[in-house]
Structure 1
Amino acid sequence: MNPAKTAFKTILPVIERVVLATDHAFSGYIQPRRLRGKLLLQPYIGWGTPTAIELTGRVLLPRTVAPARKGDRRLQNFRNVMRRLFSREVAGVRVMGVLAGETASAISDSDGYFTLHFKPREALAAGWYELALSMEGREEGPTQARVQVVSEARFGIISDLDDTVIQSDVTSLPRMLMTSLTGNARTRSPFPGVGALYRALTREGEKRNPIFYVSSSPWNFFDLLWQFLEYRRIPLGPLFLRNWGMDLLSGHGGYKHSVIERILARYPELKFVLVGDSGEKDPEIYAEVVRRHPGRVLAVYIRDVTSGLRDEGVMHLREEVGRAGVDLVLASDSLDAASHAMALGLITPGEFRNVLTSVARTYES
């Protein structure tokens, strides 16, 4: 494994524990009865089927994070990252929402999280829906949330984010930390061609193939990641991130695998393309998914961000996955994945040319 990546994986748990210790040092979480000011209601992206949808969010004390601009100073970006990490959660707040005439409510837990479950009486059509959320007994106005309903599609896509979609400079620990801690949604860079590749896979503008992002980043970075996807015109979909408090003990691999299992169970008739990188455990996780769910995985695309023994290990997994009838492509860039996807009939020759043009334009600039 790359030395910088190994060092970062050693540092990350330390950062996580510092955040958790700081939370506990400042009373852990805040009960609403102590609050006289405003609260921030942070909804994430809801997801589900025409008859069952869930929406998770969080109740927090407000924080001042200005909208990202390309010319923002690194110090300002660093301060915003710290404000996100050291959020103050609020427990015991009842959150309510209405979707398709059905009302759901839940009370925020000790980490500020709540989950609303909707069961519409009439099945919803596939697509995006907006709904308003409110907090019981609070004067704040309603907060808008979005949910994605999936019914029929050719296939779905499950993708990692860091080192798969977003460049994280894994070859150098100082650059990696500088990029992660002092960048913002407009200064962070996607890998060349990734937007065009994902637009081709999701078939924007037609019967859309849904995409789901499963990342080890904390929920504190949700707004940053969502703004990044919007700004870079990368197809939007539900994000599944980590709670550094609750998920820390399960480890990165265990967490990601459990989320993928939930997605596959929610859509039992849908096949998937899995996209990740070689930097962490994506190849092992995806190989296990192929073993457990024969016929459910169409292809596995692994962005090659490592070398040496790690690549040899991925190639062994490629042979194992191949025996199950699934191709694992260790891709040096988005064009490798697009070429295979075109050969498999997942994207058209025209969409492949769009990826080629996007990659070429990036290298020319």
Structure 2
Amino acid sequence: MSLLRPLVPVIERAVMGIDRAFSRALQPRRSRGLLSLLCYCGWGTPTRVELTGRVVLPRTLQPAANADPRWRNFTNIVRRLLSREIGGVTVHGALNGVQAEATSDSDGFFTLLFQAEQPFEAGWHDARLTIPGRERTSYARVQIVDDRGCAYGLISDLDDTVIQSDVTSIGRMLFTVLTGNARTRSPFPGVGSLYRALARHNQGDTGSAGNGKNTKRRGRNPVFYVSSSPWNFFDLLWQFLEYRRIPLGPMFLRNWGADLMSGHTTYKHGVIERIFNAYPRLHFVLVGDSGERDPEIYAEVARRFPGRVLGIYIRDVNEGQGDERVLRLRGEMARIGVDMVLARDSFAAAAHAMAMGLITPGELRSVAQSVEKSLHLPLLSF
């Protein structure tokens, strides 16, 4: 595995380079045909919202089902990866009466920026997207967060943190990703219950968390997903979260044609820093896994934004191997007042969250019951 891992970015860049060259030659003819808008989840504040999407040729994907054979799942994955992007297309958007316009780049991506004179209301909204001169209309979900109206935010990785992907083994990861779908991919036991507890609505006042910070709750705590998966998998990941009843939230994925040049650590740290800067009053819980660089990335974020990280939960996917680096970072974090928890399962993270005052004993019980049901192991007696 260690010998193959350095080759993965090289192979990805080569494939993307060939795909780009092929697409440039065909784009003028493609742009005159039927076009489709892939709309991702928008995010922002009451005064500024950002919505990313992609202009592509229409594609046909079979709806996911539990009984789908692996060959059908593989076919759908290939269709996602081989999407035909169209650059130079103008996209118009409307969000609660505010208009925005953008032009797709060479990879088909566009970003609409909505600047509100009258503040948007916090919560979920629908944006309407069109290509001028075309009849088709698309809609995108948008999450607007007022950092004065929630207790904290949750920033989470996806692969091997929420969804089991085996990223520590290239072979197993490829088999899992390429032959699964939104209904057959498996979440880690208890992750849905844990994230629902962390993101719950609560109008009361739980007092102060274990670090002394006030955690008065006036609305849903937002969830943001930051992953190295490609944007081509957005619909699969969104459907997975919906199907498994895991809280939805904006996803920050990668453009494998461009973001690869920046490296995993630089990319992920940059996205998290953008989220922190967008909500300067908000504290955060950071959740990742020990398979790659999440512990180091989150530790650097905690140093960069002192006092704003309530806790770091690292799912142990290495079965105890190589945990020395996490334990070393945990000691460094303790010295600046941030708990980094190396969690074997969702229950271990939930127990710490309850001790911090981030979730209630009843919510801890719910996580425990979910883990027990999945693993057939008694965790607590209530």
1:287 aligns with 2:299: yes
1:135 aligns with 2:135: no
Comparing 60-69 with 341-350, greater Cα deviation is found at 60-69
Q: CA deviation at 1:356?
A: 0.5
Q: Which amino acid aligns with 1:153?
A: C
Partner of 1:203: 200
Select which of 300, 305, 327 maps to 2:317.
305
For 2:25 and 2:342, the matched residues in 1 are separated by 44
- Cα 1:64–1:339 change in 2 (3 A) is same
1:198-277 aligned at under 5 Å gives the runs 198-204=195-201, 207-277=219-289
Comparing 48-57 with 300-309, greater Cα deviation is found at 300-309
For 2:87 and 2:273, the matched residues in 1 are separated by 29
- SS for the counterpart of 1:326 is coil
Q: Which amino acid aligns with 1:178?
A: F
- Cα 1:292–1:247 change in 2 (3 A) is same
For 2:349 and 2:339, the matched residues in 1 are separated by 11
- Cα 1:102–1:172 change in 2 (3 A) is closer
For 1:86 and 1:8, the matched residues in 2 are separated by 23
Partner of 2:114: 118
Taking only the aligned residue pairs, the percentage that are identical comes to 64
- SS for the counterpart of 1:37 is coil
Gaps of 5+ in 1: none
Q: CA deviation at 1:8?
A: 6.3
For 1:224 and 1:50, the matched residues in 2 are separated by 29
User: Which digits, 9 at most, give the CA deviation of each residue in 1:220-253, with x for residues without a partner?
Assistant: 1101110100010000000000011111110011
- SS for the counterpart of 2:375 is helix
Q: CA deviation at 1:35?
A: 3.4
Partner of 2:90: 94
Contact 1:29 1:91 in 2 (8 A): no
Contact 1:128 1:149 in 2 (8 A): yes
Instruction: Please provide the CA RMSD for this pair.
Output: 1.8
Partner of 1:54: 50
Q: CA deviation at 1:177?
A: 2.0
For 2:167 and 2:150, the matched residues in 1 are separated by 35
Gaps of 5+ in 2: 204-218, 378-382
Q: CA deviation at 1:65?
A: 1.2
- SS for the counterpart of 1:178 is helix
1:322 aligns with 2:334: yes
Contact 2:157 2:225 in 1 (8 A): yes
1:348-359 aligned at under 5 Å gives the runs 348-359=360-371
Select which of 127, 139, 145 maps to 1:144.
139
Contact 1:101 1:120 in 2 (8 A): no
Partner of 1:168: 165
Q: CA deviation at 1:34?
A: 4.5
- SS for the counterpart of 2:112 is strand
Q: CA deviation at 1:292?
A: 0.8
User: Which digits, 9 at most, give the CA deviation of each residue in 1:260-288, with x for residues without a partner?
Assistant: 00000000000000000000000000000
Partner of 1:183: 180
For 1:332 and 1:180, the matched residues in 2 are separated by 23
For 1:24 and 1:18, the matched residues in 2 are separated by 10
1:104 aligns with 2:91: no
- Cα 1:33–1:176 change in 2 (3 A) is closer
- Cα 1:12–1:338 change in 2 (3 A) is same
- Cα 1:29–1:142 change in 2 (3 A) is farther
Partner of 1:82: 78
For 2:168 and 2:247, the matched residues in 1 are separated by 27
Q: CA deviation at 1:21?
A: 3.1
Contact 2:17 2:257 in 1 (8 A): no
- SS for the counterpart of 1:9 is coil
Q: How many equivalent residue pairs?
A: 360
Select which of 332, 335, 349 maps to 1:337.
349
- Cα 1:171–1:132 change in 2 (3 A) is closer
Contact 1:30 1:88 in 2 (8 A): no
For 1:256 and 1:35, the matched residues in 2 are separated by 33
For 2:11 and 2:36, the matched residues in 1 are separated by 24
1:44 aligns with 2:44: no
For 1:254 and 1:119, the matched residues in 2 are separated by 28
Contact 1:31 1:92 in 2 (8 A): no
For 1:7 and 1:233, the matched residues in 2 are separated by 38
Q: CA deviation at 1:32?
A: 5.1
